[in-house]
Structure 1
């Protein structure tokens, strides 16, 4: 038993030598969702606190991002989040993709799939109340409708 614990400890120490890259891609303000959609400040604050850590180029890496293997899990979530939806580059999406992403935002909030439960364990400030969920759902639906109107000439 003692040998197993020593092996686990040595493995834990060794994996600390493989840190994640915490560099955020550069920001282009004219591409950011909150700017191009002229999001009201209170709604923008909700989106920033509940979505931007994983779905933008403005990720804030907490203390546990320096400890493997939790850092690897965190980096994987951020990379996947940006791949599926990146609010920092939203303006680069074509209109149909923007509509689809706004629809997915509504769906994810309605189904309680976002923010991720694992994220909420360490970020209670990101937890959305029923009223906040309604606010975001209404906002994303309104932005979807506004975006759809742009496709009609």
Structure 2
């Protein structure tokens, strides 16, 4: 299959690559950009572990082809904060025990970031709806919901 040249902005930096047209955005981020915080779980768009922001909208990177991101802005978990300067959502997850094994955490943090940008004071029902595309197999969601409320400035 012929490769295609793509150019996009990832976490504020221009990235270019020659890719097969069927390469997913998740694979491009992991293999070409070496950004392994975008996790691959189900590879069917069900678990949410690969969630990134594409032009500000939360999307499943396993369902988006890299060629579809041509000329667009992608933000991964690495683009939200650094170990020295965590984003407010990352701090809330850390302080409210919103993670255990951590595999699903990047997808949740990216999804929560988009949710709170669009709805800074969500109800519990809106939080459930906003996170319905993310699955955690460890926490039972109590810490995650507490983290979202804390990041939103709500008291649990």
Q: When the two structures are superposed, what TM-score results if normalisation uses the length of structure 2?
A: 0.29
For CA contacts below 8 A with separation 6 or more, give which structure has more relative contact order. 1
Q: Which has the higher helix share?
A: 1
Question: Over alpha carbons, which structure has the higher Rg?
Answer: 1
TM (normalized to structure 1)? Answer: 0.29
Q: Which has the higher strand share?
A: 2
